[in-house]
Amino acid sequence: MSDNLIQEQIKQDYAYGFVTDIESVRAPKGLNKEVIQFISKQKKEPEWLLEWRLKAFERLQSMTEPNWQKPQYPKIDYQALYYYSAPKNFKEGPKSLDEIDPEIKKTYEKLGIPLNEQKRLAGVAVDAVFDSVSVATTFKKKLEDIGVIFCSISEAVQKHPELVKKYLGSVIPLTDHYFATLNSAVFTDGSFVYIPEGLRCPMELSTYFRINASNTGQFERTLIIADKGSYVSYLEGCTAPMRDENQLHAANVELIALDDAEIKYSTVQNWYPGDKEGKGGIYNFVTKRGICKGKNSKISWTQVETGSAITWKYPSCILQGDNSSGEFYSIAITNNYQKADTGTKMIHLGKNTKSRIISKGISAGHADNTYRGLVSIHQKASNAKNYTQCDSLLVGNLCGAHTVPYIDNKNSTSTTEHEATTSKISEEQLFYCKQRGLNQEEAISLIVNGFCKEVLQQLPMEFAVEAQKLVSISLEGSVG
Amino acid sequence: MLSIEKLNVSVGDKKILQNFNLKISKGEVHAIMGPNGSGKSTLSYALAGKDGYVVDGKILFKNENIVDLKADERAQRGIFLAFQYPIEIPGVFMNNFLKTSLNAVRKAKNQKEVDVVEFLSLVKQHAKKLGIKEDQLGRALNVGFSGGEKKRNEVLQMSLLEPDLAILDETDSGLDIDALKTVADGVNALRSPHRSFLIITHYQRLLDYIKPDFVHVMVNGSIVKTGCSKLAQELDKIGYKEFQKAI
């Protein structure tokens, strides 16, 4: 293959790099009390929430950024960022789909997310977040009829303050760590889900996050509550324009599962990864945590992380209820100069709690991929069980893979298992595939998809095929 | 079909094939026999286009010099190599691999790609003939396969891909007598006036079942003697020593 062709292939990699030309309203640049007041005012928030934000901001002053992670990055100038950006003609509050700016509608169509309910993905309701605001939520009415609340978190603050007040910050406290506290101070939009007692939510719920404005951080906040005996499957997707600057996405996601409830949370993360020299791309510094509060409850995280310049996140489960279980299925693909430091924390508090961790890390080009995880079994967690499997796959000679598992076991009746492998796609495997007529890219994609299969199978059907394609595209051009 | 002219193949400083010449016409079955280290496997890899060899000379396949073509391009043109040690690929299920491979080759030949239903009926038909159980098709490629299962799988792929030239690299090694017969039957079923075979083997045993038109003795990277199928039986008695001495 000639160099030109390879170049073309790499350029084609990121299909979502366009910018929507739209006028926006921004908060003044920088991070201070006034900006937080501005955000809160824009969102017409009640006094308690503004106070909550300011408390977080105050706390932030005495905190420093963590620095123990593998991927290092240049210092972020928090005063040079915008913390709120919304399309100019955007109105806060509930709106019908006809009111959406046609430019934004077009954007989502281009991204393959039709906001038109007639053209919808079968059985999927979508909340669309554009920069700092939720611009539309589909099937809201239909879901409302059966008691499901699915709306933006800003709307939930207005319409369901009792639920928001009760659960916001209950899993990720205000004081948790630098980025989580920053998010608590300046969070803008994200989704809110409440599934009533005993209901199995009949639709997939999903949020599509889009960063559009430049020099803007996105501070998503999502809160999902599954009441007793309920079930919900939720999926988020993310993309951003191609820019030379690094943009920050620092989200907080909290999940709460009560007695016998189950939450399945899937992420297909495809933020702009930067160019092949490592210029630009999103810093994806995200805090995701769920609590299995009730007995027999279950939380399952599935993530396919293919984008971002740096991915730094540990979707975690606090297994408080007896017999509760947590799962973490992850595929993290890094190509070119991308870096990932990701994994999970499973905190076993209740009796007979179970957790299962399956992590697949793939590195190509000059990329660096770290699995970091904690399995913590507390004194009272009798008969707790954990199984962890971390597999790393290397494509080429210039990339790296690291596995950093922590196990902290304080109960002698519990068991933990850890398995880890590191392998390289061998020349022999590639030759075998090529001898059967597959070209290099097809061969790598086949082998990598095989490597990831266990995790891909966890995704909701509608998205599994998409994710599989994404896995292949992310590695295009990884081998000359 | 295939004409190899003055082929030299080396790895690093080590010359493996030297001034190698061979002509195979349409429909012919050629066997290459020789002692360990004579360059037989290198010949099969060089024909299939494996990276890592320095190749000089001509390999004319269907009148096209394929020396500069990549392995996948050669495969798409109709060269098939049944591997001596088929490699394991975890997580890649046989069904999926075979379908992807078949469609890659069909696409290159401007043939219509087969869909899942067509593929399954086709693969089951072929598998049955080779005594391959259906559950094997749902397993990861060669992972945990016995020696016999691996070799049968190679022949299954050969029958699906319908190559013009099939190279069998020590397909008989590691097979018990029943498996050997099944594999040989599979190969014989594929013999046709339009398809040529190059069978690489140490032993005459396989050639009792697949009757070659020509037998070549290969020593130190060149063919030193060519004969009919009787030569194989002779070799079985006298071994390769005579030929090695001659050089």
Which value does ipTM take for this structure? 0.95
Calculate what percentage of chain B has a pLDDT beyond 70. 99
Question: Number of helices and strands (H, E) in chain B?
Answer: 10, 12
Residues of B in contact with A436 (CB under 8 A): 75, 97, 101, 104-105, 157, 161
Give the count of alpha carbons within 13 A of A329, CB side only.
19
CA distance B13 to B18: 13
Q: What is the mean pLDDT of residues A284-303?
A: 97
Residue A429 touches chain B, beta carbons under 8 Å:
yes
Other beta carbons within 10 Å of A23: 9
Q: HEC profile for B221-240?
A: CEEEEEECCHHHHHHHHHCC
In whole numbers, what is the pLDDT of chain A averaged over residues?
88
Residue B41 touches chain A, beta carbons under 8 Å:
no
Residues of B in contact with A449 (CB under 8 A): 91-92
Give the nearest partner residue to B89 out of A435, A437, A447, using CB atoms. A447
Residues in a beta bridge with A394: A363, A424
Are A206 and A198 in contact, with CB atoms under 8 Å apart?
A: no
Most A CBs within 10 A among B50, B92, B143, hence the mutation to make, goes to B92
> What DSSP line would sit under B80-137, residue for residue?
EEE-SSPPPEEEEEHHHHHHHHHHHHHHHTTPPPP-HHHHHHHHHHHHHHTT--HHHH
Are A234 and A224 in contact, with CB atoms under 8 Å apart?
A: yes
Domain map (residue ranges) of chain B? 2-246
Q: Can you give the pLDDT of all 247 residues of chain B as single tens digits?
A: 999 999 999 998 899 999 999 999 999 999 999 888 889 999 999 999 999 899 999 999 999 999 999 999 999 999 999 999 999 998 899 999 999 999 999 999 999 999 989 999 999 999 998 889 888 899 999 999 988 889 999 999 999 999 999 999 998 887 888 888 888 998 999 999 999 999 999 888 889 899 999 999 999 899 988 988 888 888 878 888 877 765 5
> What DSSP line would sit under A345-395, residue for residue?
EEEE-STT-EEEEEEEEEEETT-EEEEEEEEEE-TT-TT-EEEEEEEEEEE
Q: What is the mean pLDDT of residues A376-399?
A: 94
What number of C-beta contacts closer than 8 Å exist between A and B? 77
Q: Which fold has domain B2-246?
A: Rossmann fold (3.40.50)
Residues of B in contact with A452 (CB under 8 A): 91
CA of A448, closest CA in chain B: separation in Å? 9
* Number of residues that this document lists for chain A: 480
- CA A391 centroid distance within chain: 21
Residues in a beta bridge with A310: A283, A339
Element (H, E) at B12: none
Residues of B in contact with A432 (CB under 8 A): 83, 86-87, 89
CA distance A414 to A112: 46
Q: Does the pLDDT at position A479 exceed 60?
A: no
Residue A438 touches chain B, beta carbons under 8 Å:
yes
Are A176 and A208 in contact, with CB atoms under 8 Å apart?
A: no
Which of A111, A187, A197, A180 lies closest to A153 in space, CA to CA?
Answer: A187
CA of A255, closest CA in chain B: separation in Å? 32
* CA distances from residue B147 to A119, A317, A368, B144, B168 in whole angstroms, order as listed: 52, 45, 38, 9, 15
Which of B224, B227, B155, B168 lies closest to B196 in space, CA to CA?
Answer: B168
Most A CBs within 10 A among B89, B123, B154, hence the mutation to make, goes to B89
